[in-house]
Structure 1
Amino acid sequence: MNKNFLALGLAAALLAPQVAGAEGFAINEWSAEGVAMGGARMFAEDDAANVAYNPASITKVKGEAMKSSSTYLSPHGSYKLYDSTGNEIKNEPTHNKVHAGWAVGSYYVKQINDKEWFGIGAFPRFAMVSEFERESKASSNAFFSKLNGVSVTPTYAHKFDKKWSAAVGAEINYVGLELQKNVNLNLGPLGNVNGTTQIEGESYALGWNAAANYTFDDKNEIGVVYRSRIKHSLEADLKGYGTKSPVVGGGDVFGNAYGVVTLPDSWDIGYNHKFDKKTRLELKATRTNWSTYDALNVYFDRSLIGVEGYVDGSPSAKNWESGWRYAIGLEHNLSDKYAVMAGFAFDESSIPYEGGDFMVPTGLRRTYSIGARYNDKKQTVAVALGWMDVGNLDFAGHPEKGDAYSSAHAYDSFTKIASISYQRKF
């Protein structure tokens, strides 16, 4: 009975939609406990979500456990647009449209024997949702952008002795991309084009990860996790509504689009200190090689305006910079059944002035969070609340590519976060 229940539950968990958003790109909200501790959760005891945070720590799971988590993210932000003379463009909406997202995680860990563990997780590592008014000048860059992502990570872990444990796993990464924007082009003898484009497609690609933990003594432990870069070759549907040049009769254009994007590799380095049996502190630093995101170039199999040789692609240089994320998390057990947690995280901005856009209009980020957990011998329930100060970002517009502004300033941006997790042991 238990085996049938586990098989059904695992299949349902891994097939559940892993949707995420909050005007972000890198997602760290993989469980309520992880949210509560700012993402600094590499050394948790008996937690199946270790598959995501630190695969080497699934050796801390005793027996068999399944966990599901759901995190709600609600983005809010303001912006200003400027023309080529540096003057603010008036009569323009000043806020994004609040398009909330969900980050869903599902995990299963089984202890095979005293030395070996198997785990598998399904959770988003890269995802975003952003939306703006369709009639705004920002819509010439993007009025709706969505990247749905999920990583499925089968993992094997080995405990060599009381000090060393390590893990290695594969990553099956899925992305579904949808981009919509207005197109306003002055093509001279080909006339003016005022339409809307939609690019929608999906891709699967493979990566891998490895992790190791070392325990100094009963109070101190360190760990490191590496996740490989993942190269996606995206094939998509192209829809151009009203984009055909009036010279060839106007109308719509339908075709295919193609692009290549490399998601970055990263390193996590963590430290765990137990003050006593009730209280512990985690520190975590993450280095993400965003420099792999050098461009978002999309090519079409036909002209967007219906005239061969004109507008048959949408090149966009990004040239993001590699950056760091720092997090600190505190966990205190009030009793055998109840615990409280708190965390703080700081993300550097990796977006240069020339590479910014309204797809991911975020600067440096500061996240403040709290949470609580109940557990007994068979189950664990945790909740968390967070508030992310997204910061300011200035970035260039590209009128030569159709943007209706020369520069933009995103400010007063923040994201509300709420998360819940449930774990069952067998």
Structure 2
Amino acid sequence: MQKTTIARLLPAALLALGSGAASAGGFQLLEQNASGIGNAYAGSAAVAENASTIFFNPAGMTQLQAREVSVGVAAVRPSFDFENKGSVVLNAPRIPTSGGGGDAGSWAAIPNAYLSWALNKDLYLGVGIGAPFGLVTEYDDDWVGRAQAVKFDLKSININPSVAWRVNDKVSIGAGLNWQRFEAEYKRVATVLPTSISRVPGLNATTATLEADSDAWGWNVGALFTLSPSMKVGMSYRSKIDHTLKGDLKIAGPAAGLAPTLRSVKAEADVELPDTFIVSVAQKLDNRWEMLGDLSWTGWSSVKQVDIVRTSGVLSGSTAQTLHTEFKDTWRVALGANYLLNDAWKLKFGVAYDQSPVKDKERRLVSLPDNNRTWLSAGAQWKLSKTNALDLGVAYLIVPKTRIDNDQTADGRGRVTGEYDSSVWLLGAQYSMAF
């Protein structure tokens, strides 16, 4: 196979794997390594225990051996079980309605890979590959909220070349560029006919599907301070990334033939993915215990609304639909501990509280039934040798009952009123090697 073909196929393969359900607030994916799962990602910008520090704080590369590689995968299983409490379905009087739509969550895999290389004792280069954003919600076709969404699938891949410099024994700094690909698929049941005609059975099974993608660039910086032999503090910042998703808006089903000029048009949507800031600390208490802390901020208010705009056809320039997100900025706090059982085994523990960017039940989308969550995590690291380590982690995310009352009656998409019973399981493994 030619190298050019491999270059085209590799991002597509990673995107397919990286279609995850968001474990952090909004549709953010914290699982940029699996070694941090056991600590609920406490100390993420300070620990620098393998090459995945490239994502959380590139300055941490100066704490690694001359050459290190780290690869991992996290399996995420969210559950979004909806209970209908008075939803109103418009323009679909003869389509059977099961109500809840089943569990909108499913298993997803999130891979990562990192390589760090010391040019000399103070200068390091590295590259990381991960999926920092992702989400999948998919309901039964006949659920009560089908006019608002049946499927919402976000995928990303982020390639992050980085550099780190040890200024002195106390201070290291790092920076990186980020090439990011972002893909979206949004499907809902559409009403394309006047109400008087759409009462014919089956016509409301017509669907509208947006498939679009974008490539964009961002940057990140970090600093690591060794305050004492037992204490490190890390700080990192990742920039916003401004995407213009371009693709096709397709109408399919029995009613599509009555509006042939609208069956397939080009469309685009602007999405400014948020910036993040992290402050972390790692403190060794003695030869066995280490405490970790993390405070992070995410600028979700950059996602105020998403306008899906037609860019071809007779209605070119018009807005097909607006997703009224109106997100707010969020905070996340995490505490963790490591216990060195012996030379081969380290035990990991963590708790975290993670805010949702969703403001209230009226602005909660069926495609993103997000809420605040509490992390309970545990894990272990097995040192196979001085240069090889395997990390395993598991986390359960407690999500309170999530109310929704999203009224899109004026736009012909009905009103979804009810409650979600949600939770998330995370499982992960990370293999790291120095060579």
TM-score normalised per structure 1? 0.88
CA 1:187 to 1:72, structure 2 compared with 1: closer, same or farther past 3 Å? same
Say if 1:170 and 1:208, in contact at 8 Å, map to a contact too.
Answer: yes
1:404 maps to which of 414, 431, 434: 414
Distance 2:317 2:54 in 1: 48
1:387 maps to which of 385, 396, 404: 396
CA 1:173 to 1:249, structure 2 compared with 1: closer, same or farther past 3 Å? closer
Counterpart of 2:29?
A: 27
Q: Name the SS of the counterpart of 2:415 in structure 1.
A: coil
Whether 2:371 is the aligned partner of 1:363: answer: yes
What does residue range 323-338 of structure 1 map to in structure 2 within 5 Å? 323-338=330-345
Counterpart of 2:51?
A: 48
Distance 1:130 1:346 in 2: 23
Amino acid corresponding to residue 391 of structure 1 in structure 2: P
Say if 2:74 and 2:426, in contact at 8 Å, map to a contact too.
Answer: yes
Whether 2:264 is the aligned partner of 1:262: answer: no
Whether 2:322 is the aligned partner of 1:315: answer: yes
Question: Alpha-carbon deviation of 1:20?
Answer: 3.4
Distance 1:198 1:183 in 2: 9
Amino acid corresponding to residue 297 of structure 1 in structure 2: D
What does residue range 16-415 of structure 1 map to in structure 2 within 5 Å? 16-17=14-15, 18-24=17-23, 25-40=27-42, 41-83=44-86, 91-93=98-100, 95-184=102-191, 187=194, 194=204, 195-242=206-253, 244=255, 248=258, 253-301=263-311, 313-353=320-360, 354-375=362-383, 376-395=385-404, 396-410=406-420, 412-415=421-424
Question: Alpha-carbon deviation of 1:82?
Answer: 4.1
Distance 2:254 2:330 in 1: 39
Gapped regions of structure 1 (runs ≥ 5) = 1-7
Distance 1:327 1:106 in 2: 24
Per mean C-alpha deviation after superposition, the further-off stretch among 390-399 and 340-349 is 390-399
Figure out how many residues of one structure are paired with residues of the other and give that number: 410
Question: Alpha-carbon deviation of 1:103?
Answer: 1.1
Deviations 1:66-97 (A, max 9, x none): 11110001111222334479xxx985126424
Say if 2:276 and 2:299, in contact at 8 Å, map to a contact too.
Answer: yes
Say if 2:390 and 2:431, in contact at 8 Å, map to a contact too.
Answer: yes
Say if 1:128 and 1:146, in contact at 8 Å, map to a contact too.
Answer: yes
CA 1:399 to 1:23, structure 2 compared with 1: closer, same or farther past 3 Å? farther
Distance 1:226 1:100 in 2: 30
Distance 2:237 2:161 in 1: 15
Question: Alpha-carbon deviation of 1:186?
Answer: 6.2
Say if 1:302 and 1:312, in contact at 8 Å, map to a contact too.
Answer: no
Distance 1:359 1:319 in 2: 14
Question: Alpha-carbon deviation of 1:391?
Answer: 2.6
Question: Alpha-carbon deviation of 1:424?
Answer: 1.9
Percent sequence identity is: 21
Q: Name the SS of the counterpart of 1:51 in structure 2.
A: helix
Amino acid corresponding to residue 54 of structure 2 in structure 1: V
Per mean C-alpha deviation after superposition, the further-off stretch among 124-133 and 214-223 is 214-223
2:428 maps to which of 403, 419, 425: 419
CA 1:370 to 1:147, structure 2 compared with 1: closer, same or farther past 3 Å? same
Gapped regions of structure 2 (runs ≥ 5) = 1-5, 89-95
Distance 2:402 2:122 in 1: 49
Q: Name the SS of the counterpart of 1:26 in structure 2.
A: coil
Question: Alpha-carbon deviation of 1:251?
Answer: 9.7
TM-score normalised per structure 2? 0.87
Distance 1:45 1:112 in 2: 18
Distance 1:50 1:310 in 2: 44
Q: CA RMSD in A?
A: 2.8
Distance 1:238 1:133 in 2: 21
